[in-house]
Amino acid sequence: MNKHRIFALIAATTASTIYGINHTIAKGLMPEVINPFGFILLRVMGAAVFFWAISLFFPSEKIDRKDWLRFIGCAFFGMALNMLAFFKGLSLSTPINSSVIITLSPVLLLVLSAFILKEKITLIKSFGIFLGLAGALVLILFGLKEQPNAPNIPMGNFLFIINATAYSIYLILVKPLTKKYSSITLMKFLFLFALLINLPIGITEFSAVEWTRLGFDEVWKLGFVVLCTTVMTYLLNIYALKQLSPTTLGAFIYLQPVIAVLFAILVGADSLSPLRIGAAAMIFIGVYLSTIKRSKKAAF
C-alpha cells in the first residue's frame, strides 16, 4: 500500500469521525439558534469565502467548458439537496436515527452504479439491498415515539434517505473531476455554485438569527459545523477520492453510527431502543451483503 493511499484512508477516517460528532452538535443548534435552511446557507457561505480566500495562494486552473454542467450538478446534489435534506431531517428526527440511516449510502451507490455504469446486481446483493431498505423503512414507519426536539421522526428519517441518495449521486458525479482539477479549485467553484443555489432557499431563516445575542457555546458549535463539518470534511473527502473509489469511500460511512451513538449517549442527546438496534442490524447486514465481492467495475 503506497503512502498516498494510506493518507487517503486517514483522511476518510477523519472526515467520518467529524461527521459522527456533527450529528449531535448540529442537532443541538436547531431550531432554537438557527433553522435548517439558514444553517445550510451559513455553511456554504463560510466554505465559499474560505476556499476562495485560500485559492489566492494556489495556481489558477482553467475549467473546461464541458465540465461546468457537472460542477453545477455536483453542487446541487452534494452541497444543496444533500445538506438541506440532512439538516431538515435532523431538525425533525434524532442523531442516532440519522447516523444509522445514512449508512444506506453504499447500497444506494450500488443501485446507482447498476443504472449509470450498468454494473450487474447479483441475487445476494439484491437481498442485501432489500434488507437494508427494509431496516430504513422500520425506522421510518415505526419510529413514531416523539422525543424532545424531534417533532416528526418518520419524516426526518425519510429525509435522511434523500440525503444519502443525493450524496451518493454527488460521489459519482465528482469522481471524474478529481482527476482533472486540484481540491482547492473544485471546492471553490462547487461552494460558489452551492451558495447561489442555497441563497434564495435559506436567506429568510439566515436573516432571522439574532447574531449579536449568540453566546460562546453557540458560536463555537456553529464554527465547528462550518469549519470542520463543511470545509474540512469536503476537502478531506475530495483528497481521499483522488486515491479511492466512491464505493470504497462510501464504506467509511460505517464509522459514523459508532461515533454518533457514543457521542450522543455520552452527552445525553439521544438514547438507544430495541427498535433502533434491530433496524440498525438489518441495515448493516444489508449493506454488507450488497457490497461484498464487488467487481473491479465498481472502482470508477
* 194-218 residue pLDDT tens: 999 999 999 999 999 999 999 999 9
Q: How does DSSP classify residue 103? A: G
Q: How does DSSP classify residue 150? A: B
More confident residue, 16 or 65: 65
Cα distance between residue 119 and residue 295, in whole Å: 9
Q: Which of 45-49, 76-80, 89-93, 287-291 has the lowest mean pLDDT?
A: 287-291
Query: What's the average model confidence in pLDDT over 146-174?
Result: 83
Segment of 160-164, 242-246, 262-266 carrying the highest mean pLDDT: 160-164
How many other C-beta atoms are found inside a 10 Å radius of the C-beta of residue 28?
A: 16
**Radius of gyration (C-alpha) of the chain in whole angstroms:** 19
Q: Is the dihedral of CA 138, 142, 146, 150 positive or negative?
A: positive
- Residue 297, pLDDT > 50, answer no
Q: Domain-by-domain residue ranges, the chain?
A: 3-298
Among 47, 8, 35, CA closest to 229: 47
Q: How does DSSP classify residue 64? A: P
Cα distance between residue 110 and residue 244, in whole Å: 16
Percent of the chain with pLDDT over 90: 41
Query: What's the average model confidence in pLDDT over 34-45?
Result: 96
